[in-house]
C-alpha cells in the first residue's frame, strides 16, 4: 500500500484516503491554482499507527522520497543552514474538524537555519519570531509541555516592555524568549528541543496522528457523529509567509457569504500575519474588501480563483490564503460550512442559475437545518438598546444566564439552566461549554474565528467580536462601553442574526420560515428557498408524512405544516385535566353499573374529541389508538395519598377508596404490565366505549357531509390472539353503531408493532390486521431492555462517551437491531396481507436519519410531532433521491 501522495498525484475523489484538506490541495494543484507544493500522508498510515503504536515501516522511505521531491520543486533543503526550506504539518481528516487537531508550522528551523532564514528573507525579526513560534507549538503539541508556560513567559516580557501586542517585541527580546522557551522544554519534557529537521518532521507527523485521539477531537466527533475509526491524514506543505511586512498577509475567503448565503466574495484579511492569527481571532481582521485597496492585484486574482473553485465544485467554497510579498498562495480549500439560512439560499440560487439540478439542491439541505429555521427569533420591534453590537456569526435567538467558562456552562446546563457562554475568544478547549450553552458571545474575532465557525456548525447562536465588551473571566463579569456591569448568572438575550446582545430576556417571535410554512406566504429569499426545496421534496418522496396529534388544534396546525393525516392519536391524553375525575370514577367503580355510568359520562367527551379531529383532517386518514398506559397513571401518587390519609384528623372516605385502588393496581414494572391491549381486554366496557365514540364521531361527520377516514389502532399487541379478541370486540361495536345510525362504517382495524414478539410473529398478526404502525419507542425499549423513561438520564452519557453507541437509540433508529425487526415484520406482514399498510409513529418518525431507514424498509408513511412534519417531508424527499 502507498502511504504518501504528492499533491499532484491526488484528486478530490480521494478524500477518504487523503482527508478533506489533502483532497482539496490535490484538486487545486490539478486545476493549476497557486498552491505551495507538498505531500499528504494518508489516513491509512494513521490507522496503522493508531492500531499498532508504530508507523507503517514503508512510511519513512516514502515520506523521505516525497520530501526530496518537495525540496527539488522549491530549490531548497529542509532546515538547511543557509536558505532553509520550512514546512507546515497539518491534520486533515475526511470530515472537517476545525481546530480540533494539531498543526505545527515552521518545521525546519533550528539554531543554525534561523540565521539562514534571517539572511535569505532579510528580516531578522521575522526569522526569530518564526523560530519562537515553532518552539512554542512544537513544545506544546509534540512534547506535551503546558502551553500556558510559554504564554506566561511572553506575557512577562510584554509587561516588562510595557507593550500589548506580540508584534511590539523586538528581535533581541525574541531571542531571549526563544532561549527561555528552550529552557522550559528542557525542564518540563526532560529533553532538548530537537535540532534535526528530519526528526522534527517525523515527530510532528506522529503528533498529528496522536491528536486524532485528543480530548477535543473526541468530543467533537461525538457531537458531529463522525466515526471514531477514520483517522486523519497529514499534510506536509512548503511554508509561505504572510508575516513579512505590509505587502504580505493572510486571510480566509468564501465564494458567498456563509452566514446569509448572499452571493459575492466574502471574508477576512489580516495584513502582516500568519494563518493561525485569523482562525484564532487573536487579532481583529479586516473585511476582505480592504484587500482591494491594499493589494488590488492579489484581490482580483483571489476573486478569479474563487470563481474557478465555485464553478468546479458547484458549491460554496472557502479558502485560506496567504500573500507573501504580493504573491498570492492558496493554502486550503473546501466546500464551506454554512448556516441553515445559507444552505437553503445557496442551494436555491445555484439551482436557479442552472449550476445544479433540483435533486442536487435538495440533497444539499437537510431537515435539521429546516427545523432550526422554524424556531422563533427576537421581536424586531423590541425597542431596548443592545448592550453591545458584534459580528452576527451564527443566526437565531437565545436567552440564558451568563457564564464565563466552559465547565460552568456544562454544570449549569446539566442542572437544567439555559446559559450563554461569554468569552474573550474561544479555543477548542471551550467546546463542551459551547455545546452546553444556548449561545456563545465573544468580544474578539470575526466571522471566521473559532467561536464563529464552531457555533455555526452546531447551529448555535453566536455573536463574536463584540469589542465594546470588557470581559473579565476572573471576576466573572463583563462591562459595556456605557459602564453597565453584567455578572455571572445575569440573564442576557443574544441575537445571532442581528449581532446584538441585550440585557434581560427579550420576547421571541415566530420565524418567517415557520410562519410561511403554516400560512404559505413567503416573505424573503430564505423562506422562498425553503418552500422551493420542500416543494421538490414533496414531488419526489414516496413516504407519506402524517402527524402525531391528539387535539383538533394540533391537527389543524399539523395539516397546515403539510401532514397528510394523523398517524397516532393518543386517546389517553384526552383523559387528563378535568376528565381525570371521570376516569377515577371508572376505576373506583364497585360494580358494573357504576362503571357503565362512568364510561357513559366519558363517551360524549371522547366523541366530541374525535369529531373535532376528523373535521380538522377531513379527507385524510386519522389513526386513533385505543387507551394505552396503565390505569394507575390516572390515579394520584401512592405515597402522597398515604401521607395525606395518615396525617388527616378525619380521613376522607374517598381518599381511603382511592388508596385501596392505587394499592390494588400497583405494579412493580408498569411499563411491562397492565397496559395497551391488555387493559382494553381487562376492563369491561372500556374498549367498547372508545370504539363507540369513534364510530359515532364518524357517523356524525358523514351525516354532516364530511369525509372521515378513522382507523382503529390496538396498542402493545404481542400475539395475534390478543388482536383477534380486540378486533372482534371492535367489529361488534361498529356493527351496533352501523345498525343504530344506518351508516356503513368500514373502518380499518390495525395494530401497533412495539414488542419484539409482535415483530417476530408479524406474519400471524397480519392475519388480523389491516395495518401495522411501528411504535419504535416501545419497540426500542423492549428490544434493548432499556427503560425509555430512565436510561437516557442514567447510563446513556457513559455509553455515548464510551462509544457503545454514537447516538441514543431512542433518538435515531438502531438499524441493526430494532430496524431489523421492522424490516422483518414488514416483509412477513405483507407476505400474508399484500394490502397491509405500514407506518411508524414512534419518535423516530421525525428523525432525519431514521426516515431514510424507513424509506429503505419500504414503509408507507412516517408520523411525527407537528413541528417536525416539514423536516420529515424534506428528509423523505432526500431519502428518495
**Catalytic positions:** 450, 841
Of the candidates 583, 753, 787, the residue with the CA atom closest to the CA atom of residue 668: 787
CA distance 522 to 528: 6
Q: Could you tell me which stretch among 15-23, 124-132, 241-249, 773-781 binds ligand PEP (CB under 6 A)?
A: 773-781
Q: Please tell me whether residue 573 binds ligand PEP under the rule CB under 6 A.
A: no
> Residues 56, 231, 258, 775: which binds Mg ion (CB under 5 A)?
775
Going by the DSSP 8-state scheme, the letter that residue 142 receives in this structure is I
Question: Considering just the CA atoms, what is the radius of gyration of the chain in Å?
Answer: 32
Length of the chain: 881
**Residue 570 site contact among Mg ion, ligand PEP, none (CB < 5 to 8 Å, cut-off depends on kind):** ligand PEP
C-alpha cell at 88: 507546515
Can you say which residues are annotated as belonging to the binding site for Mg(2+)? 754, 778
| CA 549 to centroid of chain Cα atoms | 26
**Residue 36 site contact among Mg ion, ligand PEP, none (CB < 5 to 8 Å, cut-off depends on kind):** none
**Residue 766 site contact among ligand PEP, Mg ion, none (CB < 5 to 8 Å, cut-off depends on kind):** none
Q: Could you tell me which stretch among 60-68, 360-368, 496-504, 773-781 binds Mg ion (CB under 5 A)?
A: 773-781
DSSP letters for 466-515: -TT-EEETTTTEEE-TT--EEETT-EEEEETTTTEEEES-PPEE--HHHH
The least distance separating Mg ion from the CB of residue 586, rounded to whole angstroms, comes to 22
DSSP letters for 86-119: -EEEEEEESS--TTTS-EEEEET--TTHHHHHHH
Paired strand residues for 400: 492
Cα distances from 506 to residues 83, 219, 336, 438, 491, in angstroms, run: 60, 32, 32, 14, 10
Of the candidates 111, 609, 530, the residue with the CA atom closest to the CA atom of residue 343: 530
Q: Please tell me whether residue 778 binds ligand PEP under the rule CB under 6 A.
A: yes
Q: Which is nearer to ligand PEP, 202 or 776 (CB)?
A: 776
Q: CB atoms < 10 A from the CB of 184, how many?
A: 21
Paired strand residues for 333: 319
Site string for ligand PEP, 815-844 (x = CB under 6 A): --------------------------xx--
Site string for ligand PEP, 512-531 (x = CB under 6 A): --------------------
Q: Which is nearer to Mg ion, 21 or 844 (CB)?
A: 844
> Residues 30, 515, 570, 764: which binds ligand PEP (CB under 6 A)?
570
Q: Please tell me whether residue 572 binds Mg ion under the rule CB under 5 A.
A: no
> Residues 85, 328, 413, 568: which binds ligand PEP (CB under 6 A)?
568
CA distance 88 to 239: 6
Q: Which is nearer to ligand PEP, 320 or 628 (CB)?
A: 628
Q: Please tell me whether residue 355 binds ligand PEP under the rule CB under 6 A.
A: no
CA distance 116 to 113: 5
Q: Please tell me whether residue 775 binds ligand PEP under the rule CB under 6 A.
A: yes
Q: Which is nearer to ligand PEP, 136 or 812 (CB)?
A: 812
DSSP letters for 145-185: --HHHHHHHHHHHHHHHT-SSGGG--HHHHHHHHHHHHHHH
Interacting positions 152-171 with Mg ion (CB under 5 A): none
The least distance separating ligand PEP from the CB of residue 829, rounded to whole angstroms, comes to 17
The least distance separating Mg ion from the CB of residue 568, rounded to whole angstroms, comes to 9
Q: Which is nearer to ligand PEP, 233 or 569 (CB)?
A: 569
By the 8 A CB rule, do 235 and 22 touch?
yes
Can you say which residues are annotated as belonging to the binding site? 570, 625, 754, 775-778
**Residue 837 site contact among Mg ion, ligand PEP, none (CB < 5 to 8 Å, cut-off depends on kind):** none
Q: Please tell me whether residue 777 binds ligand PEP under the rule CB under 6 A.
A: yes
Q: Which is nearer to Mg ion, 436 or 821 (CB)?
A: 821
Q: Angle at Cα 189 formed by Cα 185 and Cα 193, nearest 5°? A: 45
Of the candidates 641, 634, 645, 650, the residue with the CA atom closest to the CA atom of residue 585: 634
CA distance 654 to 659: 9
Q: Could you tell me which stretch among 91-99, 345-353, 495-503, 777-785 binds Mg ion (CB under 5 A)?
A: 777-785
Interacting positions 317-336 with Mg ion (CB under 5 A): none
Q: Which is nearer to ligand PEP, 411 or 570 (CB)?
A: 570
CA distance 462 to 455: 6
Q: Could you tell me which stretch among 214-222, 541-549, 613-621, 767-775 binds Mg ion (CB under 5 A)?
A: 767-775
> Residues 776, 782, 783, 812: which binds ligand PEP (CB under 6 A)?
776
By the 8 A CB rule, do 22 and 41 touch?
no
**Residue 776 site contact among Mg ion, ligand PEP, none (CB < 5 to 8 Å, cut-off depends on kind):** ligand PEP
Q: Please tell me whether residue 680 binds ligand PEP under the rule CB under 6 A.
A: no
Coil, strand or helix at 816: helix
The least distance separating Mg ion from the CB of residue 794, rounded to whole angstroms, comes to 20
Site string for ligand PEP, 615-634 (x = CB under 6 A): -------------x------
Residues in the interface with Mg ion (CB under 5 A) total 3
CA distance 675 to 628: 5
Interacting positions 839-868 with ligand PEP (CB under 6 A): 841-842
Which residue, chain included where needed, has cell 363517551?
603
Q: CB atoms < 10 A from the CB of 560, how many?
A: 15
Q: SS3 string of 836-851?
A: CEEEECCHHHHCHHHH
Q: Which is nearer to ligand PEP, 66 or 723 (CB)?
A: 723
HSE-CB at 394 with a 13 A cutoff on CA atoms is 29
Cα distances from 711 to residues 50, 135, 569, 768, in angstroms, run: 56, 72, 10, 14
Site string for ligand PEP, 726-765 (x = CB under 6 A): ----------------------------x-----------
CA distance 497 to 391: 9
**Residue 479 site contact among Mg ion, ligand PEP, none (CB < 5 to 8 Å, cut-off depends on kind):** none
Of the candidates 853, 862, 837, the residue with the CA atom closest to the CA atom of residue 563: 862
CA distance 136 to 619: 70
Q: Please tell me whether residue 778 binds Mg ion under the rule CB under 5 A.
A: yes
**Residue 173 site contact among Mg ion, ligand PEP, none (CB < 5 to 8 Å, cut-off depends on kind):** none
Q: Could you tell me which stretch among 480-488, 689-697, 774-782, 798-806 binds Mg ion (CB under 5 A)?
A: 774-782
The least distance separating ligand PEP from the CB of residue 843, rounded to whole angstroms, comes to 7
The least distance separating Mg ion from the CB of residue 634, rounded to whole angstroms, comes to 17
The least distance separating ligand PEP from the CB of residue 778, rounded to whole angstroms, comes to 3
Q: Which is nearer to ligand PEP, 55 or 843 (CB)?
A: 843
Interacting positions 464-483 with Mg ion (CB under 5 A): none
HSE-CB at 153 with a 13 A cutoff on CA atoms is 21
C-alpha cell at 526: 430564505
The least distance separating Mg ion from the CB of residue 216, rounded to whole angstroms, comes to 39
Residues in the interface with ligand PEP (CB under 6 A) total 10
DSSP letters for 288-337: THHHHHH-HHHHHHHHHHHHHHHHHHTS-EEEEEEEETTEEEEEEEEEPP
C-alpha cell at 529: 428557498
The least distance separating ligand PEP from the CB of residue 800, rounded to whole angstroms, comes to 22
Q: Which is nearer to ligand PEP, 570 or 820 (CB)?
A: 570
Q: Which is nearer to Mg ion, 711 or 754 (CB)?
A: 754
The least distance separating Mg ion from the CB of residue 629, rounded to whole angstroms, comes to 9
Can you say which residues are annotated as belonging to the binding site for substrate? 570, 625, 754, 775-778
Q: Which residues bind Mg ion (CB under 5 A)?
A: 754, 775, 778
Q: What residues line the site for ligand PEP (CB under 6 A)?
A: 568, 570, 628, 754, 775-778, 841-842
Amino acid at each position: 500500500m502507498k502511504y504518501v501522495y504528492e499533491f499532484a498525484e491526488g484528486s478530490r475523489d480521494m478524500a477518504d484516503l487523503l482527508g478533506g484538506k489533502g483532497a482539496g490541495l490535490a484538486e487545486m494543484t490539478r486545476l493549476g491554482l497557486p498552491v505551495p507544493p507538498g505531500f499528504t500522508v494518508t489516513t491509512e498510515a494513521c490507522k496503522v499507527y493508531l492500531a499498532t503504536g508504530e508507523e507503517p515501516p514503508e512510511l519513512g522511505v516514502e515520506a523521505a522520497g516525497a520530501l526530496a521531491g518537495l525540496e527539488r520543486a522549491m530549490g531548497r533543503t529542509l532546515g538547511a543552514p543557509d536558505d532553509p526550506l520550512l514546512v507546515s504539518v497539518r491534520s486533515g481528516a475526511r470530515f472537517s474538524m476545525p481546530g480540533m487537531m494539531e498543526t505545527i508550522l515552521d518545521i525546519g528551523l533550528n539554531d543554525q537555519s534561523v540565521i539562514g532564514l534571517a539572511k535569505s528573507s532579510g528580516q531578522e525579526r521575522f526569522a526569530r519570531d518564526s523560530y519562537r513560534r515553532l518552539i512554542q507549538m512544537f513544545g506544546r503539541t509534540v512534547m506535551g509541555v503546558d502551553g500556558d508556560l510559554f504564554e506566561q513567559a511572553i506575557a512577562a516580557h510584554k509587561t516588562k516592555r510595557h507593550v500589548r501586542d506580540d508584534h511590539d517585541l523586538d528581535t533581541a527580546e525574541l531571542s531571549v524568549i526563544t532561549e527561555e522557551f528552550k529552557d522550559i522544554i528542557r525542564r518540563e519534557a526532560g529533553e532538548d528541543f530537537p535540532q534535526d529537521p528530519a526528526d522534527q518532521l517525523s515527530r510532528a507527523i506522529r503528533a498529528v496522528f496522536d491528536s486524532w485521539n485528543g480530548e477535543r477531537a473526541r468530543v467533537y466527533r461525538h457531537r458531529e457523529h463522525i466515526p471514531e475509526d477514520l483517522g486523519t491524514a497529514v499534510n506536509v506543505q512548503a511554508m509561505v509567509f504572510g508575516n513579512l511586512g505590509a505587502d504580505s498577509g493572510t486571510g480566509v475567503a468564501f465564494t458567498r457569504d456563509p452566514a446569509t448565503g448572499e452571493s459575492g466574495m466574502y471574508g477576512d484579511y489580516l495584513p502582516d500575519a500568519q494563518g493561525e492569527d485569523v482562525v484564532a481571532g487573536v487579532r481583529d481582521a479586516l473585511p476582505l474588501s480592504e484587500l482591494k485597496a491594499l493589494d488590488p492585484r492579489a484581490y482580483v486574482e483571489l476573486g478569479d480563483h474563487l470563481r474557478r473553485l465555485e464553478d468546479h465544485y458547484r458549491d460554496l467554497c472557502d479558502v485560506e490564503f496567504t500573500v507573501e510579498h504580493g504573491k498570492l498562495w492558496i493554502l486550503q480549500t473546501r466546500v464551506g460550512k454554512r448556516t441553515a439560512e445559507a444552505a437553503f439560499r445557496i442551494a436555491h440560487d445555484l439551482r436557479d442559475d442552472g449550476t445544479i439540478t433540483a435533486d442536487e439542491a435538495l440533497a444539499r439541505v437537510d431537515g435539521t437545518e429546516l427545523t432550526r429555521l422554524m424556531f422563533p427569533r427576537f421581536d424586531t420591534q423590541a425597542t431596548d438598546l443592545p448592550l453591545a453590537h458584534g459580528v452576527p456569526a451564527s443566526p437565531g435567538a437565545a436567552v440564558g444566564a451568563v457564564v464565563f467558562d466552559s465547565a460552568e456552562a456544562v454544570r449549569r446546563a446539566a442542572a437544567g439552566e439555559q446559559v450563554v457562554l461569554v468569552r474573550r475568544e474561544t479555543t477548542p478547549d471551550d467546546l463542551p461549554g459551547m455545546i452546553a450553552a444556548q449561545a456563545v458571545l465573544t468580544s474578539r474575532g470575526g466571522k471566521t474565528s473559532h467561536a464563529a465557525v464552531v457555533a455555526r456548525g452546531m447551529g448555535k447562536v453566536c455573536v463574536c467580536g463584540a469589542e465594546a465588551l470588557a470581559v473579565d473571566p476572573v471576576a466573572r463579569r463583563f462591562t459595556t462601553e456605557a459602564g453597565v456591569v453584567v455578572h455571572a448568572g445575569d440573564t442576557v438575550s443574544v441575537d445571532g442574526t442581528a449581532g446584538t446582545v441585550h440585557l434581560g430576556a427579550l420576547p421571541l417571535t415566530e420565524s418567517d420560515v415557520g410562519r410561511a410554512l403554516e400560512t404559505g406566504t413567503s416573505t424573503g429569499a430564505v423562506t422562498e428557498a425553503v418552500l422551493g426545496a420542500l416543494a421538490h421534496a414533496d414531488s419526489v418522496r414516496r413516504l407519506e408524512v402524517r402527524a402525531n396529534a391528539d387535539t383538533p388544534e394540533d391537527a389543524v396546525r399539523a395539516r397546515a405544516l403539510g401532514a397528510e393525516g394523523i398517524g397516532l392519536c393518543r386517546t389517553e391524553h384526552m383523559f387528563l385535566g378535568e376528565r381525570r375525575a371521570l376516569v377515577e370514577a371508572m376505576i373506583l367503580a364497585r360494580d358494573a353499573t357504576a362503571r357503565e355510568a362512568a364510561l357513559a359520562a366519558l363517551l360524549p367527551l371522547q366523541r366530541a374529541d374525535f369529531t373535532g379531529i376528523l373535521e380538522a383532517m377531513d379527507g385524510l386518514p386519522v389513526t386513533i389508538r385505543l387507551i394505552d398506559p396503565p390505569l394507575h397513571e390516572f390515579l394520584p401518587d401512592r405515597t402522597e395519598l398515604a401521607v395525606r390519609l395518615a396525617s388527616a384528623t378525619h380521613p376522607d372516605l374517598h381518599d381511603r377508596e382511592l388508596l385501596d385502588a392505587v394499592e390494588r393496581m400497583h405494579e412493580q414494572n408498569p411499563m411491562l404490565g397492565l397496559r395497551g391491549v391488555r387493559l382494553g381486554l381487562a376492563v369491561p366496557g372500556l374498549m367498547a366505549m372508545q370504539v363507540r365514540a369513534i364510530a359515532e364521531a364518524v357517523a356524525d361527520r358523514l351525516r354532516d357531509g364530511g369525509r372521515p377516514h378513522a382507523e382503529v389502532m390496538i396498542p402493545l399487541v404481542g400475539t395475534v390472539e390478543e388482536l383477534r379478541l380486540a378486533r372482534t370486540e371492535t367489529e361488534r361495536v361498529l356493527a351496533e353503531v352501523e345498525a343504530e345510525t344506518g351508516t356503513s362504517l368500514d373502518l380499518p382495524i390495525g395494530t401497533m408493532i412495539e414488542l419484539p414478539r409482535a415483530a417476530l410473529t408479524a406474519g400471524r398478526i397480519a392475519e388480523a390486521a389491516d395495518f401495522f404502525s411501528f411504535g419504535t419507542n416501545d419497540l426500542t425499549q423492549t428490544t434493548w431492555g432499556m427503560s425509555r423513561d430512565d436510561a437516557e438520564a442514567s447510563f446513556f452519557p457513559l455509553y455515548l462517551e464510551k462509544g457503545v453507541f454514537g447516538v441514543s437509540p431512542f433518538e435515531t433508529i438502531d438499524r441493526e437491531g430494532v430496524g431489523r425487526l421492522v424490516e422483518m415484520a414488514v416483509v412477513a406482514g405483507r407476505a400474508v396481507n399484500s394490502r397491509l399498510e405500514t407506518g411508524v409513529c414512534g419518535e423516530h418518525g421525525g428523525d432525519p436519519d431514521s426516515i431514510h431507514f424507513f424509506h429503505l424498509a419500504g414503509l408507507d408513511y412516517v408520523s411525527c410531532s407537528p413541528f417536525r412534519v416539514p423536516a420529515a417531508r424534506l428528509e423523505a424527499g432526500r431519502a428518495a433521491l
